[in-house]
Amino acid sequence: MKNLIQLGFAALLSATFMTTKAQSKDTENSTLWEVSGNGLTKPSYIAGTCHIMCSQDFEIKPKVLKALEQSDHFVMEINYTDPAEMAAMQKMYQTDKKLSDQLSLSEAKELDKILADYGTDLKKMDNSSSQGLYALISMKALPCPQTEIKLYEIELLQNAIKNKKNVSGLEKVEDQMKSINKAYHLKAVIGQLKMGKEYEILMKEMLSAFKKEDMKSVYTLFKNDKIMNAEQEKAMLTDRNKNWAEKMPVLMKKESSFFAVGGAHLMGDNGLIQLLRAKGYTVKPVLSL
């Protein structure tokens, strides 16, 4: 379960309004979006996800499951069915250089004190990477035991496998690692760990917005300047969105595809919705199927 939580939070890191005249701003709230036109013979879908949540809050709306059922291909940020990718994912939480060797004595003592609030200490975490440290935030921010945690993409993946869908990913773990390393070096992560309580509040607000299908608010909360500066937003959202928007047309042209990505990736001038519209696709919210 711990490994699944780490996978979910890696996705969360990886996690997140311009419109054409023909598409009204008033109906731009939905977790599910249909992509059509521009030569596609069948529509594809994009589902904005909340990667990790407590089972008491967990729900996949019927329209999302129906869209997945109607699609031929299930596409996640990373292909969790690829053993090589999963091996790479596990390695991303370990480091060749101990954390204590990367910090001064006073910085190490401070980190040890911070980690006490997360139920651990520097000795236990010393061989972890900065991403391994960051994953602690999700465990603390969620108001439920690890045994009651649900991972949105994993639930969709199980459904896709059961229905014999093709499965692939938009990026490799190596790509995600480069983005995370650009955005969150060790000392930046330590700064984030200090904000434990603020993360709890933020996650609660994001979950509330997600359940209301208010993806604009999810996007705004995710890029809160307390946890994500302009450089981090570029690495974690903008650059990755642009890379994905180049790959998605190829997949959609081949077969009807269902893309499941963190909700923060959908909105904004450099969000997937706007990027695909700029390529000539009609992208509209799905209210029901």
User: How do residues 221-275 score in pLDDT, each as one tens digit?
Assistant: 888 777 788 888 999 999 999 999 999 999 999 999 999 999 999 999 999 999 9
What pLDDT is stored for residue 169 in this prediction? 97
pLDDT category at 27 given cuts 50, 70, 90 is low
pLDDT category at 26 given cuts 50, 70, 90 is very low
What pLDDT is stored for residue 5 in this prediction? 42
What pLDDT is stored for residue 84 in this prediction? 93
Angle at CA of residue 58, ends 10 and 256, nearest 5° = 70
Give me the chain's average pLDDT, please.
86
Q: Which of 120-129, 160-169, 195-204 has the lowest mean pLDDT?
A: 195-204
pLDDT digits (tens, 9 = 90+) for 120-142: 999 999 998 888 888 888 778 88
β-pair type (166-169, 73-76): parallel
Region 192-212: mean pLDDT is 86
- Given its phi and psi angles, is residue 181 left (phi above 0), alpha (psi -120 to 50 degrees) or beta? alpha
Nearest Cα to Cα of residue 180 among 14, 1, 67? 14
Q: Does an H or E element contain 262, and which?
A: strand 257-262
**Distance, CA of 57 to CA of 40 (rounded, Å):** 36
44 vs 7, residue with greater confidence: 44
Is the pLDDT reported for residue 35 higher than 90?
Answer: yes
Is the pLDDT reported for residue 162 higher than 80?
Answer: yes
Task: Say what the pTM is.
Answer: 0.86
pLDDT digits (tens, 9 = 90+) for 68-119: 999 999 999 999 999 999 888 888 878 888 999 999 999 999 999 999 998 8
Separation in Å, CA 44 to CA 70, 180, 255:
9, 28, 8
Query: Which ranges of 184-268 does DSSP label H, i.e. alpha helix?
Result: 186-193, 196-211, 215-222, 230-233, 239-254
Q: Do 243 and 179 form a contact (C-beta atoms < 8 A)?
A: no
User: 71: which residues sit within 8 A by CB, 6+ positions away?
Assistant: 44, 45, 165, 256, 257, 258
Nearest Cα to Cα of residue 100 among 77, 124, 117, 120? 124
Backbone phi and psi for residue 260, each to the nearest 5 degrees, phi listed first = -115, 110
Region 162-169: mean pLDDT is 96
- Most confident of the following: 173-182, 194-203, 254-263: 254-263
Nearest Cα to Cα of residue 196 among 134, 241, 255? 134
Question: Can you say whether the dihedral through the CA atoms of 245, 247, 253, 257 is positive or negative?
Answer: negative
pLDDT category at 52 given cuts 50, 70, 90 is confident
Is the pLDDT reported for residue 3 higher than 70?
Answer: no
What pLDDT is stored for residue 24 in this prediction? 36
Q: Do 120 and 136 form a contact (C-beta atoms < 8 A)?
A: yes
Q: Which residue pairs, CB below 8 angstroms and at least 24 apart, start in 21-24?
A: 23/277, 23/282, 23/283, 23/284
5 vs 127, residue with greater confidence: 127
**Distance, CA of 140 to CA of 142 (rounded, Å):** 6
Which residue has 């696709």 as its token pair?
Answer: 281
